[in-house]
């Protein structure tokens, strides 16, 4: 005999409890009627969407959740629903997994392990559960767990001691590079420790800077992966549990099914960027995107992501040349726009820059030209993009990468203007690799854009390396300082860098915190992105060194 389970990879809207309730009901009926599933397993906090943040503190939350659960109980029969939601009980709020069947709430499990690191703030909202919950579903004893519980030995061991034959794990596990392999290794370890198979369902979709790539899967009691749902796809993906055999040897095992192929790192990052941008645009009701197309590599990649996310018909690119803009940049920007089929405009900014300069002439009397005049060009471009945004209801997509944002190589209220950034957590060296990857899907980024020396073109013959170390060196230092939390002395101890360069880069990172606080959000790619992951004070007296 088999117990068919539908793993529901759904893209929910945070806070839309009514809409999410309908999505749950529709998915359960589809799993029952079209896939003959007996159980449908939803991700963590499905009812609210994830992460709900301070919506969990709203006074009406308890009533809304109760109403939603009652609606689900009344609407769906003849299939077990395992759903994640917040639950108030005895003055406490718990992150809960509940099991509903034929109009009844059979039991509830409260998450034990509450993560309070990186992007997670569970302890701000939730109290920790302490009890194992094991429920019998069609004769199979199922132990429940939620996300972080699987990262710790005790909750799963406790479920086994309570009689579980299989673990259902509800997740909202956000993407970062290498996360997929970490999850697989973790479930292998837990299965081997306990001798229990595990069914792991994960959220799919994006919420502000966080992206959830799905990839729900199941491992057998020896930790072997036997079923893998696709990455970055919504849908219901089934896994069968064999329920016959010798009860003394724990008869429940997932049967082998489809195993979606793994994605390489560039494919995974690119899809995360596309999904993050698509959900941000669609869930916030923007009509489309406008961005400044400079002829450089960052705006070229950003344009490609935008088109892949929402379609060429909803994207407008604007080239805003000035005196220092090369003919090469004009040619490349036009080619990029044509290759991707977007609306393309050329709006020279020289008249506007000249008008500002004339107005400021008296104020600037007796001073030499410096970066003020360079930044003025960027700020005129920012004003231009925001005017188009306001008039047409398009969101401005910024194009700065993580290397630039780290050291402040961007103009506040200029090229930093916008609502979202797909490159915010992507180092410049990765930008080149992603452009190469995107061109394997179809040639959209001219070769010259990838190979020419990067330049902001705010001064004659300017290139980025006039102001910064080479990007190979810069990104290596930034990775060690930002993502690995290595001190200046620890970085120097590697023997790969000179002291002046390391101290200069770290000082630029620290000084630029005020800029990053005013930058748009963007897709989180690494374990330490600028945003929810990294919270440093702007005003501080910390000394660079150890």
How does pLDDT run across 326-358, given as a tens digit for each residue?
899 999 999 999 999 999 999 999 999 999 999
Task: Provide the pLDDT for residue 247.
Answer: 47
Q: Tell me the percentage of the chain whose pLDDT exceeds 70.
A: 97
What are the structural domains of the chain?
A: 2-259 (3.60.110.10), 267-459 (3.40.50.620)
Task: Provide the pLDDT for residue 226.
Answer: 93
Closest-CA residue to 43 (of 118, 119, 147): 147
pLDDT bracket for residue 254 (50, 70, 90)? confident
How does pLDDT run across 431-472, given as a tens digit for each residue?
999 999 999 999 999 999 999 887 766 667 667 676 789 999
Q: Which residues contact 285 (CB under 8 A, 6 or more apart)?
A: none
Task: Evaluate whether 208 touches 276 at the Cβ level (below 8 Å).
Answer: no
CA dihedral sign of residues 41, 42, 47, 48:
positive
Task: Provide the pLDDT for residue 270.
Answer: 97
Q: Hey, how many other C-beta atoms are within 10 angstroms of the C-beta on 239?
A: 28
More confident residue, 199 or 540: 199
Task: Provide the pLDDT for residue 253.
Answer: 84
Q: How many CA atoms lie within 13 A of 523 on its CB side?
A: 36
Task: Provide the pLDDT for residue 321.
Answer: 95
Task: Provide the pLDDT for residue 195.
Answer: 94
Task: Provide the pLDDT for residue 464.
Answer: 65
How does pLDDT run across 291-318, given as a tens digit for each residue?
999 999 999 999 999 999 999 999 999 9
User: Looking at 4, 108, 111, 435, which residue is catalytic?
Assistant: 111
Task: Provide the pLDDT for residue 250.
Answer: 52
User: Looking at 4, 44, 148, 424, which residue is catalytic?
Assistant: 44
Rounded mean pLDDT, 238-267: 79
pLDDT bracket for residue 324 (50, 70, 90)? confident
Respond yes or no: is residue 111 known to be catalytic. yes
Rounded mean pLDDT, 494-516: 94
Respond yes or no: is residue 147 known to be catalytic. yes
For residue 501, pLDDT beyond 80: yes
Task: Provide the pLDDT for residue 117.
Answer: 84
3-state secondary structure of 287: coil
Q: Torsions phi, psi of 200, nearest 5? A: -115, 115
How does pLDDT run across 125-139, given as a tens digit for each residue?
999 999 999 999 999
Task: Evaluate whether 318 touches 290 at the Cβ level (below 8 Å).
Answer: yes
Structure tokens at 444: 């959209």
Least trusted range by pLDDT, from 107-116, 178-187, 262-271, 340-349? 178-187
What is the pairing mode between strands 80-89 and 92-101? antiparallel
Question: DSSP readout, 375-428?
Answer: HHHHHHHHHHHHHHHHHHTEEEEE---HHHHHHT-S-TTTTT-SSEESSTT--H
Task: Evaluate whether 146 touches 84 at the Cβ level (below 8 Å).
Answer: yes
CA dihedral sign of residues 64, 66, 68, 70:
negative
Q: Tell me the percentage of the chain whose pLDDT exceeds 90.
A: 85
38: left (phi over 0), alpha (psi -120 to 50) or beta: alpha
More confident residue, 402 or 260: 402
CA dihedral sign of residues 90, 93, 96, 100:
positive
Closest-CA residue to 397 (of 432, 376, 422): 422
Please name the residue that has the structure tokens 């398009």: 394
| Mean pLDDT over each residue of the chain, to the nearest integer | 93
Cα–Cα dist 392/380, whole Å? 18
Rounded alpha-carbon distances, angstroms, from residue 376 to 222, 292, 365, 383: 63, 16, 17, 10
Rounded mean pLDDT, 512-526: 93
Rounded mean pLDDT, 229-255: 80
Q: Which residues contact 210 (CB under 8 A, 6 or more apart)?
A: 51, 119, 174, 175, 524, 532
User: Looking at 147, 314, 404, 435, which residue is catalytic?
Assistant: 147
């Amino acid at each position: 005999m088999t117990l068919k389970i539908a793993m529901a990879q759904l893209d929910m809207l945070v806070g839309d409890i009514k809409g999410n309730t309908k999505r749950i009901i529709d998915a359960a009926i589809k799993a029952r009627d079209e896939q003959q599933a007996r159980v449908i397993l939803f991700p963590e906090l499905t009812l609210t969407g994830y992460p709900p943040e301070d919506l969990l503190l709203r006074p009406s939350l308890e009533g809304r959740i109760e109403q939603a659960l009652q609606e689900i109980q009344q609407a769906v029969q003849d299939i077990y629903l395992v759903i994640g939601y917040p639950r108030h009980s005895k003055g406490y709020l718990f992150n809960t997994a509940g099991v509903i069947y034929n109009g009844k709430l059979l039991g509830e499990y409260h998450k034990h392990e509450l993560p309070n690191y990186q992007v997670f703030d569970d302890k701000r909202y939730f109290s920790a559960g302490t009890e194992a919950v094991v429920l019998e579903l069609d004769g199979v004893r199922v132990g429940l767990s939620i996300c972080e519980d699987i990262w710790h030995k005790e909750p799963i061991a406790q479920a086994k001691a309570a009689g579980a034959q299989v673990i259902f794990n509800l997740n909202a596990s956000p993407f970062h590079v290498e996360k997929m392999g970490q999850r697989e290794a973790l479930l292998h370890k837990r299965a081997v420790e306990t001798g229990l198979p595990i069914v792991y369902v994960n959220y799919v979709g994006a919420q502000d800077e966080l992206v959830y790539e799905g990839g729900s899967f199941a491992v057998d009691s020896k930790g072997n992966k036997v079923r893998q749902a696709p990455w970055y796809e919504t849908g219901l993906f089934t896994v069968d549990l064999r329920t016959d055999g010798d009860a003394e040897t724990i008869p429940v095992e997932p049967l082998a099914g489809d195993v979606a192929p793994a994605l390489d790192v560039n494919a995974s990052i690119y899809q995360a960027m596309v999904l993050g941008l698509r959900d941000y645009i669609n869930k916030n009701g923007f009509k489309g995107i406008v961005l400044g197309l400079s002829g450089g590599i960052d705006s070229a990649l950003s344009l490609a992501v935008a088109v892949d996310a929402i379609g060429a018909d909803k994207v407008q690119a604007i080239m805003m040349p000035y005196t220092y803009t090369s003919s090469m940049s004009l040619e490349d920007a036009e080619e990029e726009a044509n290759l991707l089929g977007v609306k393309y405009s050329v709006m020279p900014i020289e008249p506007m820059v000249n008008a500002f300069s004339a107005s400021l002439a008296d104020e600037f009397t007796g001073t030499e030209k410096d970066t003020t005049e360079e930044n003025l060009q960027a700020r005129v471009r920012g004003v231009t993009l925001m005017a188009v945004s306001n008039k047409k209801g398009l969101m401005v997509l910024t194009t700065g990468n993580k290397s630039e944002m780290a050291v402040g190589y961007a103009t506040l209220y200029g090229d930093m203007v916008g609502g979202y950034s797909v490159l915010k957590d992507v180092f410049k060296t990765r930008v080149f690799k992603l452009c190469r990857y995107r061109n394997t899907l179809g040639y959209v980024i001219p070769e010259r854009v990838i190979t020419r020396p990067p330049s902001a073109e705010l001064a004659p013959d300017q290139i980025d390396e006039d102001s910064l170390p080479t990007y190979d060196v810069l990104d290596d230092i930034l990775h060690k300082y930002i993502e690995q939390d290595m001190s200046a002395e620890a970085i120097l101890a590697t023997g790969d860098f000179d002291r002046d360069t390391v101290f200069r880069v770290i000082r630029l990172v620290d000084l630029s915190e005020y800029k990053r606080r005013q930058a748009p959000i963007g897709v989180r790619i690494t374990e330490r992105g600028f945003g929810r992951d990294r919270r440093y004070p702007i005003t501080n007296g910390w000394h660079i060194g150890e």
